[in-house]
Amino acid sequence: MRKDSEAWDKDYSRRGALWSGTVHHLPALPPGSRVLELGCGNGKSLTVMCQRHWEVTAVDFSPCAVRMCKPITDAAGNASACVADAGNLPFVSGLFDGVIAIHVLSHLSCGERSRAASEAARLLKTGGTFYFSGFSLEDFRYNTGTVVEPGTIRKGPGICTHYFSEQEVVDLFRILTLQSITTKRWFLRVRGQEFPRAEIQATFTR
């Protein structure tokens, strides 16, 4: 098991479902589409994907996270989850109509992000859709921990988060064709004070 996988496993074991809320920003894929979710975590996005009647395969490098997804996949009937590394996926090329990566590439190193991008492109069918979401350098949490790589911050025992620029996202997926990219901005109010949040959302095709 990778050291960062161990860190995530410890966090899931200690705090349970780390991610909650509703996911609205997903690509418009028709029912029956074969979709791969990279970094499914405890299944926050997986539930919504199943409701869209896609055939979903979810992967995460944390065994604890995958176990937490099992009740969702068992109930849905159109989804499965397995332990796998986004940079070395056990699927044949061109298998998926869509590949979705929501905040997962943020937790990979520079080299790992490049490998994951190559794997995502390999697994897409011709004309398939890749959807990316990751926090922006404009987000208030950027530079609030230990810098381990340019744009990458470590907080706590081993979990790192990378913050992107729009150009970096375009460059990372240059082997695909960009369809749209935008930075979503909002404010988080904590104890009467507002903090800027910013997330980059992008869609590419193969």
What does the domain layout of the chain look like in residue ranges? 3-14+30-134+164-185+199-205
Burial class from Cβ neighbours inside 10 Å (0-12, 13-18, 19+) for residue 24 reads exposed
189 backbone dihedrals φ, ψ, rounded to 5°: -95, 120
Listed as ranges, residues in the chain with pLDDT below 50 are: 1-3, 16, 18-19
- pLDDT given at position 19: 46
- pLDDT given at position 205: 98
154: alpha, beta or left? (left if phi > 0; alpha if psi -120 to 50): beta
Q: Six-digit token pair at 57?
A: 């395969």
- pLDDT given at position 22: 63
Nearest to 23 by CA among 5, 36, 40: 40
- pLDDT given at position 30: 96
CATH architecture of the domain formed by 3-14+30-134+164-185+199-205? 3-Layer(aba) Sandwich (3.40)
188, 139 Cβ separation under 8 angstroms: no
The pLDDT tens digits of the residues spanning 174-189 come to 999 999 999 999 999 9
Nearest to 28 by CA among 117, 97, 81: 97
> For residue 95, what are the contacts with CB-CB under 8 A and spacing of at least 6?
34, 36, 123, 125
Starting at the edge strand found earlier in the chain, the sheet holding 34-38 runs 79-83, 55-60, 34-38, 96-102, 124-135, 193-205, 177-190
Burial class from Cβ neighbours inside 10 Å (0-12, 13-18, 19+) for residue 71 reads exposed
Q: What is the DSSP string of 15-80?
A: HS----S---------TT-EEEEE--TTSHHHHHHHHTT-EEEEEES-HHHHHHHHHHHHHHSSEE
56, 33 Cβ separation under 8 angstroms: no
